[in-house]
């Protein structure tokens, strides 16, 4: 079944638009309730969290109204990181978890992510089945909420995360922390402080309109400056809903998800602790990551872009580590979804065990030259219908051969065409990206 409204990571779009509005979200809640009933789950409980966007409270009420309309029960978790909702659904006997968030997108956007009772994101088939249960949107009825203390989910998550490292193990550490004016402003500093660290904060004053605004994992340059000015041992930048992170070493160098995975995987392999000696990544990751992990005795499996596809393959293979270059890192020994705080703590654990700074640990990954671009598009025309771009892709693939790769795809969450070229020679990569971009602009009439 083909999905219309769900993308790579839930339903997402401009708030007040044709999809992300109270009437549609209420209808989505009702559809989710009917889908649950079709699976034999009656009066199922949905736990609903949200990030700090000003539109979040109203959309959460609408989603709750919809699930109540279909005979279910809705419980508000308030402002809470996405991985904490996943954990609450898994441990709290919920039929579904949901988060009102647009992740790293600006405050003008919002959306809905769903989690199953095991805390995992729903599959494509599940999302298509929910869409099939949609009826014509109508005004939302008043929501029926269970009185569930927000602290119960937040505190359980904080306590579990703090147990990843030994008590007091970060004493004497200065950490630069960018919480993107998002849902981790209350949780991540609490965990790091409880472990003994002192915090230099950034992006920690949410007002409903400034989530991800020049801060967070999409804008790590400010974090790098803070690391240097504060003499921090590590910098951590999270996105608006806390399910991914970007790190900064003590010299101000930015580490993406590929570098985080390389550090965690090679360290685990050296200690014989990497489950199935396997790491699952997406087609977006740098080829150097394959080389680093294979040199350490491990194997790499690739999936389509999207952390839930990574999670599905991890479950299938019995792997415990996977992720994306964007900073979604999945550590199944803690939970079944991406978690920026957990990833940062795991890297801090490697630093503690080895006694090596992050600037040295990151050298385990030697990246292949790579260029990427994201072009705004008005319409997602099938790629095979774009003659200039198709011809340029074939020519570049021929020039690279087995030494590199070309990846062209539409974003699953934004109106963008994403281009990636990777190979051993910088000059060829640079010229190839220039030709690809020009062909895409010609075919799609992009300015």
CB 97 within 8 A of CB 89: yes
Run of H or E residues at 252: none
Please enumerate, as own/partner, the contacts of 141-146 that have beta carbons within 8 Å and a separation of 24 or more. 141/26, 141/65, 141/68, 141/69, 142/65, 143/61, 143/62, 143/64, 143/65, 143/68, 143/74, 144/64, 144/65, 144/68, 144/73, 144/74, 145/64, 145/74, 145/75, 145/76, 146/45, 146/73, 146/74, 146/75
Strand partners, 419: 373, 408
In the numeric block, the tokens 């219309």 are attached to 4
Count of Cβ atoms closer than 10 Å to residue 384 Cβ: 8
* Residue 120 known to be catalytic: no
- How far out from the chain centre does Cα 338 lie? 6
Between strands 278-282 and 254-255, the pairing is unpaired
Identify any residues that bridge with 9 across adjacent strands, giving them in sequence order: none
Give the angle 108-114-119 at the CA atoms, nearest 5°.
130
- Rounded to an integer, what distance in angstroms lies between the CA atom of residue 371 and that of residue 426? 9
The C-alpha R_g of the chain, in whole angstroms, comes to 22
Residue 444's SS3 state is helix
Q: d(Cα 365, Cα 368) in Å, to the nearest integer?
A: 9
Q: Check 103, 183, 217, 437 and give the catalytic one.
A: 103
CA dist., res. 224 & res. 250, Å (int): 9
Residue 238 near residue 325 (C-beta atoms within 8 A)? no
The DSSP code sequence of 189-211 is HHHHHHTT-EEEEES----SS-T
Residue 217 and residue 326: Cα distance in Å, rounded?
Answer: 9
- Residue pair 132/7 in contact (Cβ under 8 Å)? The answer is no
Q: Which residues are catalytic?
A: 103
């Amino acid at each position: 079944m083909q999905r219309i409204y769900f993308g790579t990571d839930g339903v997402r779009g401009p708030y007040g638009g044709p999809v992300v509005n109270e009437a549609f979200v209420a209808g989505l809640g009702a559809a989710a309730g009917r889908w649950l009933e079709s699976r034999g789950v009656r009066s199922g409980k949905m736990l609903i969290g949200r990030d700090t966007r000003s539109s979040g409270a109203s959309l959460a009420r609408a989603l709750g109204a919809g699930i109540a309309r279909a005979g279910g029960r809705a419980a508000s978790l308030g402002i809470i990181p996405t991985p904490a909702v996943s954990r609450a659904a898994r441990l709290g006997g919920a039929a579904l978890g949901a988060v009102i968030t647009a992740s790293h997108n600006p405050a003008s956007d919002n959306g809905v992510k769903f989690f199953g009772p095991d805390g995992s994101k729903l599959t494509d088939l599940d999302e298509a089945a929910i869409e099939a249960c949609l009826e014509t949107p109508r005004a939302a009825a008043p929501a029926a909420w269970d009185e569930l203390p927000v602290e119960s989910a937040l505190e359980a998550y904080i306590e579990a995360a703090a147990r990843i490292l030994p008590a007091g193990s970060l004493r004497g550490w200065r950490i630069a922390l960018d919480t993107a004016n998002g849902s981790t402003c209350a949780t991540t500093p609490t965990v790091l402080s409880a472990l003994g660290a002192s915090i230099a904060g950034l992006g920690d004053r949410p007002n409903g309109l400034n989530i991800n605004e020049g801060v967070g994992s999409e804008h790590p340059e400010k974090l790098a400056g803070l690391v240097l000015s504060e003499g921090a041992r590590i910098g951590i930048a999270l996105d608006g809903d806390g399910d991914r992170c970007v790190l900064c070493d003590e010299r101000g160098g930015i580490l993406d998800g590929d570098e985080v995975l390389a550090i965690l995987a090679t360290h685990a392999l050296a200690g014989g602790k990497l489950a199935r000696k396997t790491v699952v990544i997406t087609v977006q990751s740098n080829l150097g990551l394959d080389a680093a992990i294979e040199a350490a005795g491990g194997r790499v499996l690739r999936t389509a872009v999207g952390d839930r596809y990574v999670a599905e393959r991890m479950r299938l293979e019995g792997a415990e580590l996977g992720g994306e270059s964007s900073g979604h890192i999945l550590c199944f020994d803690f939970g079944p979804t991406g978690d920026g705080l957990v990833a940062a703590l795991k890297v801090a654990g490697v630093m503690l065990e080895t006694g090596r700074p992050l600037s040295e640990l990151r050298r385990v990954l030697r990246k292949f030259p790579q260029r990427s671009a994201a072009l705004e598009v008005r319409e997602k025309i099938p790629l095979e219908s774009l003659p200039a771009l198709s011809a340029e892709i074939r020519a570049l693939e021929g020039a690279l051969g087995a030494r590199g790769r070309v990846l062209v795809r539409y974003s699953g969450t934004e109106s963008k065409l994403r281009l990636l070229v990777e190979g051993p020679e910088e000059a060829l990569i640079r010229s190839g990206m220039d030709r690809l971009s020009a062909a895409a602009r010609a075919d799609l009439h992009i300015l």
